[in-house]
Structures are given as C-alpha cells and as structure tokens.
Amino acid sequence: MRVGFIGLGSQGAPMARRIIDAGHPTTLWARRPASLEAFADTPAKVAATPAELAAASDLVCVCVVDDAGVEEVVTGEHGVLAGLREGGVIAVHSTVHPDTCRRLAALAAARGVSLIDAPVSGGGPAAAAGRLLVMVGGDTGTVERCRPVFEAHADPVVHLGELGSGQLTKLLNNLLFTANLATAASTLALGRTLDVDPARLAEVLSHGSGASFALDRVAAAGGTLDRMAVHAGPLLQKDVRLVTDLAGAAGTSTAPVIETADAALKLMDHPR
C-alpha cells in the first residue's frame, strides 16, 4: 500500500520509519520542517499539505496529539478528505474520543473513504523495535488490508471489533496505568514514612508480585509523580477525562479504578 503519515513526534517518527523501511511507498507531511529532517536519508516523499499527501496514498495514518488535531488534518480546507481517493483508508493512531472517530467516519464514508481507529501503546522505543501494540476498531476487511502496514512497527496488532472499540480499549489501558501510578507512588511514599528507602523498596517490588510498568516509571522518576506531571500529565489527564465522561454516560463513573486514577492526577497537580 501507498502510505501517508501525519504526526512525526516521538512515537510517530519511528512508526513512519519502520513503514518506510518495510518497503511501503510513503509520503510525509509535518507542520514543522524540522520534523522531516530525520527522513532526508529515506526514499519517503514530502507533501505540501495533508490533501496532497492523501492524493498520493491508499492509507493515511494520523498520529497527532488530540481530537482537535485529528479533525483539523482530516477535515480542514486542505485536509486529508480533500485529497484521498474513493477506496482510501484513514487510520487514526491518536488517542481520541470514540465519537470523534465515528463522526469522521461518517464524513469519510460520504466520500467513499473508510476510517478505522488504531491507537497505539508502547512509546517510541517500542515503535523503533517493531513492538508497538496497535488496538484496532473497524470493518474487518479494511483492518486486514491495513494489517501489513501496522505490522511494520507493531506486534501485536489486535482487532477489537467495531469502529471506536480500539479507542475505548486504549482509554481503559491508560486509565489503569494512571491508577497504577497512584498506587505505586503512594506505596513508595508510605515506605518513606516507615523509614524504608524508596529506591531500595522499588528495587524489591520490581522483582516481586507488586511489580508493574507504572512502578518502574515512578521509580525512574525518583519515587514521585513530579516528573510525570511535566511530561505525561497533560495527556493522561485528557485520557482519564475522556474515559470518565464515557463511564458517566454509562452510569459507572464511580468505578474504583477511576477514583484511583483521579488520585494520581491530583498528585501530579500538587507535586512535592
């Protein structure tokens, strides 16, 4: 497939490079020319607008930060839908509200274009190693068409069901991660009050039944969420807010995991 890639950040850039290295003819677009410099040694082409990128693509992968960014690059005056031919596919790798994907899918369908949601987890290092997790929602046939492209940077690629199910799953993943951050940070803080060195405690826990990815992140940040608040805090706040809204609509907004995740966000809002 001819692939267009939009969103060359810390995660998107290695995803795009893996797609290029796998031999897919690839076109790139970025707001900042500096984002494209790392691809000067590749055969990837550069488009002047998202519409121009889409016109050269069968599949357009969108990996920007939030709902507003996705809507802008897809539906803007020179957006993807202005250039993508009938039969083309848009894959939303960003973590956004499922309704955003459903709304954009309806606009795309009116032009004979398919849209699937395909949020990712693992970060830049996992993308560079081809070990991202991709959570996909959408039509089975469309997902299978795109699978070889996703498998350039991901293992596993999991098809979860209808459109929006990938986003729901990613939001639940991030909710649990945020809750785990709270329990890890509070456990290390409790150890400190009991005169147990937090670094030594983290070392022990990481080799025991209390081990978790969140614990590793908190320990690497010095035992608190202070650094996390600067780097990941805004994105986690966005995702917890989205899943809380969805849970509220379903009448389950008081789930304990949501309350624990909120505790982590409060710790980030009031660092030590």
**Identity of residue 107:** L
Residues in CB range of 102: below 8 A, 6 or more apart: 163, 164
Residues in CB range of 52: below 8 A, 6 or more apart: 29, 78, 83
**What secondary structure, in 3-state letters, does 39-67 show?**
HCCCCCEECCCHHHHHHCCCEEEECCCCH
Beta partners for 55? none
168: part of which helix (H) or strand (E)? helix 165-193
> Pairing mode, if any, of strands 26-29 and 89-92?
unpaired
Q: How far apart are CA 232 and CA 209, in angstroms?
A: 26
Rounded alpha-carbon distances, angstroms, from residue 143 to 60, 121, 134, 220: 13, 18, 11, 37
Distance of CA 226 to the CA centre of its chain: 22
Considering the candidates 45, 170, 238, 266, report the single residue annotated as catalytic. Answer: 170
Q: Is 170 a catalytic residue?
A: yes
Q: How far apart are CA 157 and CA 161, in angstroms?
A: 12
Q: What tokens were used for 149?
A: 């492209």
Residues taking part in catalysis: 170
